[in-house]
């Protein structure tokens, strides 16, 4: 590139990648706090472990590629990936799985493609799916929300669970774990129970899974903050949640005995956090506005389809990855009409 | 009731896609009246201060010139005349550093001023211009060297001549001044609203009585009031409207302003006249009034000298050719060492290396920015595909894709993504969280494309030259053979000389005719490829 050294604009530039990422981290706080409240210290331990591994991995790759380490770590993108991963996995996940997941996310999914900006897939979700496929049991063993557990797992017990795989003395898994609401819903529907019967389960809260609904509210708050700060735009989250709600609503209206209310879909799993924090990952999402609406809506629909007829109780990670593949194509066909042009677009 | 009526009457405004809000910083310099800059010892007047061909000097070194005297004649249709901005001795016509993004030197006339500031004899004012032939008025504007003073510096007389089959329905007077910091148009509107309207009226006459729309951003309430007040004094009210538009960069871009005021989109690669619109800057309007009503050429302009590194920011009436360093000194010099000295606004201006360069017609602002105002953006990070750039692009481009392809030097793809619709407004680079110097990539890509086209054109020319040479050689050979044959025949025929003489003459005429026809054909072909 020729060296026209100085070029407009000349003023200070308000936006910076690291600030954007910091805002995202800040927005995650209420949801994470809710998670810790309902699911214990394991959440926090996972986050710290994942962040440490992700940052170390990022630094190591930079070292190997002989690139400056400072900017790569200073942009906080690895930290965001780590936190998103850590809040998606069960709070009791063995430490080495977290380590494996983060290495997979940073080294393979992110850096092998050239680092931030080049990865076609969302690293956190790719790592989640990788672990889910490899270790399905560990990845689906969730703690019961605090008020439903017979035994509240303390901080040291969490540490021992994660690092040594040791249950608290005198306590069985049953006492601390529970199916996730989505899991429960699927399982019992498969057994032929009706929604009305399932709703009697203590896992039901006011409008979603007990505990889960408040976690979702926390992330919703953070999402609204991101919208307000203009870190994200409404296109992806709104279209994703709307598509999920519309699809769920339609089936619920058709047959309320076998389909839960739309609010259950929105507030019982990863839909909210996925809509605001995961699907909106700029690197792997669509960039055109029309494209973003299609992208978000497709994720919402895929989530509903997998939850209702697929093999997994929750599907946000799968849906996001699936649409990541389609993002470049969607972008290509949704280029805006250039000012002063009448309908001509870039040629394929 | 009256307010409801006025609400109803308020004309609709449109919006364009994107745009950004930047702190406008206008309060730094819009607080005091325009001051006239004292006469400098030496004026360096570039002979090209406009888009188009360099003007041809009509004075000789050593000559005494007078204020307002023609120094260089417009050369070709798209060009503008250059005049002396004070009296004195012409000491040199030579290349000097001029304000240009490239930082290169260009031909300048250097005048050692004599301090007398004596006017040359000026042409008669055309106060009754409405009775004159429009071509006469246009010729006057051309003589006066009026160009677009908003920064683009397109010769105004050309813009005012849209051609007989182009009906102009709207004349837009651009008082938007959307770049941060710059306030010269603001002050001009406050102080010379009447002249701006007088100029607009002359243009109105030249363009065949279109309606006039004047757009002013709403961060200049005094200017708006002054213009409204001045309009009330004229008989132009029937066809003139002043509209306050929301402050949003780049509302002052020609195509954006047209969109805001009329809702029309200028088709890509076309000039506004294609859709019956002509857009002129307020400064140009005032200059047209000076030229037609006073017979005065364009030899000075208002320049905003500002930025937090300047001790006393303000607006100065400056003679063309005054060194920028004089302006800064006149404003109390630097308060703080500037990190950047910019000619023009912070969004689209260019950095100047030597403060000795002279003020030119399009130079609306000298901006000295401090470390805080223009901090080093730091190294560019990788694009995170956040799409902010596309959100703010007023041309509705995909700046990120343009960047990828420009970086990959994929010149075909950048053109597929409409690189040439980019107005280099800098909105995208301003919001990019990775601080990628996007505009720099686009300029680079444009230059590469131009260079490639130029290469192609040259190759084509070379091919044509080769072909015509080949044709010439063949023809000469044919003619030589024909002459030989004729000679032989005439020898064989023996006497009867006069007859063959006549034949030879005929043959020669025929050959000449053929040559002329061939030449014509070749010229026509050359023209065709030129146009392509
Ligand atoms: S604003 Fe910058 S980082 Fe964001 S998509 Fe555009 S070029 Fe990439
Ligand atoms: S500089 Fe070009 S690409 Fe960037 S915002 Fe302006 S018009 Fe769009």
B466, B488, B503: which is the final residue of a domain?
Answer: B466
Q: B472: burial class by Cβ within 10 Å (0-12, 13-18, 19+)?
A: middle
Whose CA is closest to atom 1 on ligand 1?
A: B432
pTM of this prediction?
0.82
B270, B303, B331: which is the final residue of a domain?
Answer: B331
Chain B, 350-389: which have a CB under 8 Å from a chain A CB? 350-351, 367, 369, 372-375, 377, 379, 381-388
Q: Quick check: is A147 in a domain? A: yes
**The Cα angle at residue A304 between residues A298 and A306, in degrees rounded to 5:** 100
Can you tell me the distance from the alpha carbon of A11 to that of B401, in angstroms, rounded to the nearest whole number?
24
Shortest CA distance to B220 belongs to which of B201, B200, B197, B245?
B245
Average the pLDDT over each of A229-233, A331-335, B92-96, B520-524 and give the range with the smallest value: B520-524
Indicate which CATH number applies to the domain containing B92: 3.40.50.11540
Which residues face B73 on adjacent strands? B56
**HSE-CB of A315 using CA atoms within 13 angstroms:** 23
Residue to mutate among A4, A5, A6, A11, with most B CBs inside 10 A, is A11
Residues B323, B388, single domain; the answer is no
- What integer pLDDT is reported at residue A347 of this predicted model? 42
- Of chain A, the percentage scoring pLDDT greater than 90 comes to 41
Residues B258, B143, single domain; the answer is yes
Q: Quick check: is A32 in a domain? A: yes
Other Cβ atoms less than 10 A from the Cβ of B175: the count is: 29
Q: Quick check: is B500 in a domain? A: no
Q: Which residues of B are annotated as a binding site for [4Fe-4S] cluster?
A: 383, 386, 389, 393, 422, 425, 428, 432
Residue with tokens 């005297």: B69
Q: Quick check: is B494 in a domain? A: no
Residues B402, B255, single domain; the answer is no
Q: Cβ contacts of residue A125 below 8 Å, gap of 6+?
A: A84, A88, A278, A316, A317, A320, A321
Residue with tokens 């280099």: B424
**HSE-CB of B486 using CA atoms within 13 angstroms:** 17
Residues B279, B403, single domain; the answer is no
| Test site for ligand 2: of B19, B393, B446, most ligand atoms within 8 A of the Cβ | B393
- The answer, yes or no, to whether residue A66 has pLDDT greater than 90, is no
Round the average pLDDT of chain A to a whole number and report it.
Answer: 86
Q: Radius of gyration over alpha carbons of chain B, in Å?
A: 28
The answer to whether B140 touches B124, Cβ cutoff 8 Å, is no
Q: Cβ contacts of residue B357 below 8 Å, gap of 6+?
A: B44, B96, B97, B98, B99, B323, B324, B343
Q: Quick check: is B213 in a domain? A: yes
Residues B291, B432, single domain; the answer is no
Q: Quick check: is A225 in a domain? A: no
- What integer pLDDT is reported at residue A182 of this predicted model? 80
Whose CA is closest to atom 6 on ligand 2?
A: B425
- The answer, yes or no, to whether residue A346 has pLDDT greater than 60, is no
Domain count, chain B: 2
Q: Separation of B429 CA from ligand 1 center, angstroms?
A: 8
Q: Quick check: is B40 in a domain? A: yes
Residues B296, B430, single domain; the answer is no
Ligand number nearest CA of B421 is 2
Q: Radius of gyration over alpha carbons of chain A, in Å?
A: 21
Which residues face B70 on adjacent strands? B83
| CA dist B393 → B389, B404, B510 (Å) | 6, 16, 64
Can you tell me the distance from the alpha carbon of A46 to that of A178, in angstroms, rounded to the nearest whole number?
19
- The answer, yes or no, to whether residue B91 has pLDDT greater than 50, is yes
Residues B208, B325, single domain; the answer is yes
B421, B443, B466: which is the final residue of a domain?
Answer: B466
Indicate the SS3 state at residue B107: strand
The whole-angstrom distance between B356's CA and the closest CA on chain A is 19
**HSE-CB of B301 using CA atoms within 13 angstroms:** 35
The answer to whether B431 touches B383, Cβ cutoff 8 Å, is no
- What integer pLDDT is reported at residue A287 of this predicted model? 86
Can you tell me the distance from the alpha carbon of A315 to that of B416, in angstroms, rounded to the nearest whole number?
38
Which two three-digit tokens encode residue A123?
């690293």
Residues B323, B427, single domain; the answer is no
Whose CA is closest to atom 3 on ligand 1?
A: B383
Shortest CA distance to B133 belongs to which of B172, B167, B161, B166?
B161
Residues B316, B456, single domain; the answer is no
Q: Which domain holds residue A80?
A: 16-178
C-beta atoms of A287 and B342 within 8 A: no
The whole-angstrom distance between A100's CA and the closest CA on chain B is 25
Can you tell me the distance from the alpha carbon of A20 to that of B433, in angstroms, rounded to the nearest whole number?
8
ipTM exceeding the 0.85 mark: no
Domain count, chain A: 1
The answer to whether B470 touches A54, Cβ cutoff 8 Å, is no
pLDDT digits (tens, 9 = 90+) for B273-297: 989 999 999 999 999 999 999 999 9
Give mean pLDDT, residues A324-328: 91
Q: Quick check: is B369 in a domain? A: no
* Dihedral angle sign, alpha carbons of residues B451, B452, B456, B459: positive
Q: Quick check: is B235 in a domain? A: yes
Q: Separation of A87 CA from ligand 1 center, angstroms?
A: 28
Cβ contacts below 8 Å, chain A against chain B, sum to: 156
Chain B residue numbers with beta carbons less than 8 Å from the beta carbon of A284 are 385
Residues B272, B420, single domain; the answer is no
State the alpha helices, DSSP H only, in B207-281.
221-232, 254-262
Run of H or E residues at B173:
strand B170-175
Q: Quick check: is A48 in a domain? A: yes
Can you tell me the distance from the alpha carbon of A73 to that of A25, in angstroms, rounded to the nearest whole number?
15
Q: How confident is the model at residue B10 (pLDDT cuts 50, 70, 90)?
A: low
Residues B63, B124, single domain; the answer is yes
Q: Which domain holds residue B242?
A: 13-331
Q: Quick check: is B366 in a domain? A: no
């Amino acid at each position: 590139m020729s060296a026209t050294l100085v070029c407009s604009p000349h003023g200070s530039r308000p936006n910076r990648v690291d600030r954007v990422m910091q805002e995202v981290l800040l927005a995650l706080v209420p949801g994470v706090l809710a998670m810790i409240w309902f699911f214990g210290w394991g959440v926090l331990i996972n986050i710290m472990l994942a962040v440490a591994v992700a940052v170390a991995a990022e630094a190591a790759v930079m070292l190997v590629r002989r690139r400056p380490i400072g900017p790569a770590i200073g942009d906080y993108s690895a930290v965001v990936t780590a936190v998103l991963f850590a809040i998606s996995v069960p709070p009791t996940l063995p430490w080495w799985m977290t380590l494996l997941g983060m290495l997979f996310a940073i080294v393979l999914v992110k850096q092998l493609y050239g680092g931030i900006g080049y990865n076609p897939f969302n690293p956190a979700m790719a790592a989640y799916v990788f672990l889910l496929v490899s270790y399905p049991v560990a990845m689906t063993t969730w703690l019961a929300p605090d008020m439903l557990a017979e035994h509240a797992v303390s901080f040291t017990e969490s540490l021992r669970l994660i690092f040594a795989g040791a249950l608290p003395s005198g306590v069985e898994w049953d006492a601390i774990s529970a199916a996730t609401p989505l899991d429960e819903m699927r399982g019992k529907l498969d057994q032929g129970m009706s929604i009305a019967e399932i709703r009697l389960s203590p896992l039901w809260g006011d409008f979603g899974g007990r505990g889960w609904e408040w976690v979702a509210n926390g992330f919703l708050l953070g999402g609204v903050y991101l919208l307000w700060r203009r870190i994200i735009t409404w296109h992806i989250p709104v279209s994703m949640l709307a598509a999920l709600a519309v699809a769920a609503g339609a089936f619920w209206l058709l047959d309320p005995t076998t389909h839960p209310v739309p609010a259950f879909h929105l507030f019982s799993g990863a839909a909210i956090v996925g809509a605001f924090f995961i699907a909106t990952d700029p690197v792997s999402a669509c960039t055109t506005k029309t494209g973003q609406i299609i992208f978000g809506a497709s994720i919402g629909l895929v989530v509903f389809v997998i939850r209702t007829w697929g093999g997994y109780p929750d599907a946000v990670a799968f849906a996001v990855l699936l649409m990541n593949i389609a993002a470049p194509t969607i972008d290509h066909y949704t280029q805006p009409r250039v000012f002063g042009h009448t309908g001509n677009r870039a040629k394929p | 009731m009256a307010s409801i009526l006025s609400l109803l009457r308020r004309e609709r405004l449109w919006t364009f896609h994107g745009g950004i809000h930047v702190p406008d910083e206008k309060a730094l310099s819009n607080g005091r009246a325009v001051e006239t800059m004292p006469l400098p010892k030496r004026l360096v007047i570039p002979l090209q201060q406009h888009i188009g061909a360099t003007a041809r000097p009509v004075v000789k070194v050593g000559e005494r010139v007078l204020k307002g005297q023609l120094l260089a004649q417009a050369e070709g249709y798209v060009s503008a005349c250059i005049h002396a901005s004070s009296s004195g001795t012409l000491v040199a016509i030579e290349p000097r550093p001029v304000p240009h993004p490239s930082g290169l030197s260009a031909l300048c006339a250097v005048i050692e001023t004599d301090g007398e500031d004596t006017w040359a004899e000026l042409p008669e004012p055309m106060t009754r211009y409405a009775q004159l032939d429009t071509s006469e008025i246009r010729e006057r504007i051309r003589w006066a060297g009026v160009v677009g003073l908003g920064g683009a510096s397109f010769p105004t007389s050309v813009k005012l001549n849209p051609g007989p089959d182009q009906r102009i329905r709207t004349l837009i007077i651009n008082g938007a001044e959307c770049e941060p910091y710059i306030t010269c148009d603001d002050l001009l509107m406050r102080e010379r609203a009447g002249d701006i309207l007088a100029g607009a009226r002359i243009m109105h006459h030249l363009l065949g009585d279109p309606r006039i729309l004047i757009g002013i951003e709403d961060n200049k309430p005094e200017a708006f009031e002054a213009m409204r007040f001045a309009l009330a004094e004229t008989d132009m009210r029937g066809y003139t409207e002043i509209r306050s538009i929301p402050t949003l960069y780049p509302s002052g871009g020609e195509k954006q302003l047209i969109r805001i005021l009329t809702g029309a989109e200028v088709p890509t690669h076309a000039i506004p006249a294609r859709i019956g619109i002509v857009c002129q800057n307020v400064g140009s309007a005032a200059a047209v009034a000076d030229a037609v009503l006073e017979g005065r050429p364009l030899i000075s302009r208002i320049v905003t000298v500002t930025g937090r590194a300047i001790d006393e920011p303000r607006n100065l009436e400056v003679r063309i050719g005054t060194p920028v360093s004089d302006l800064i000194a006149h404003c109390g010099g630097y308060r703080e060492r500037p990190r950047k000295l910019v000619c023009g606004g912070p969004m689209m201006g260019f950095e100047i290396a030597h403060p000795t360069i002279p003020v030119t017609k399009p130079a609306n602002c000298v901006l000295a920015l401090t470390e805080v105002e223009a901090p080093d953006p730091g190294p560019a990070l990788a694009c995170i595909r956040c799409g902010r750039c596309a959100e703010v692009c007023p041309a509705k481009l995909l700046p990120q894709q343009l960047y990828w392809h420009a970086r990959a030097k994929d010149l075909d793809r950048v053109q597929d993504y409409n690189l040439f619709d980019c107005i280099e407004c800098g909105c995208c680079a301003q919001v990019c969280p990775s601080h990628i110097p996007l505009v720099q990539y686009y300029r680079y890509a444009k230059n590469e494309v131009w260079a490639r086209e130029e290469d192609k054109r040259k190759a084509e020319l070379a091919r044509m030259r080769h072909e015509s040479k080949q044709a010439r050689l063949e023809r000469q050979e044919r003619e030589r053979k024909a002459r030989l044959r004729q000679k032989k025949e005439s020898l064989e025929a023996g006497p009867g000389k006069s007859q063959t003489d006549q034949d030879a003459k005929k043959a020669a005429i025929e050959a000449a005719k053929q040559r002329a026809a061939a030449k014509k054909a070749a010229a026509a072909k050359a023209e065709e490829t030129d146009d392509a």
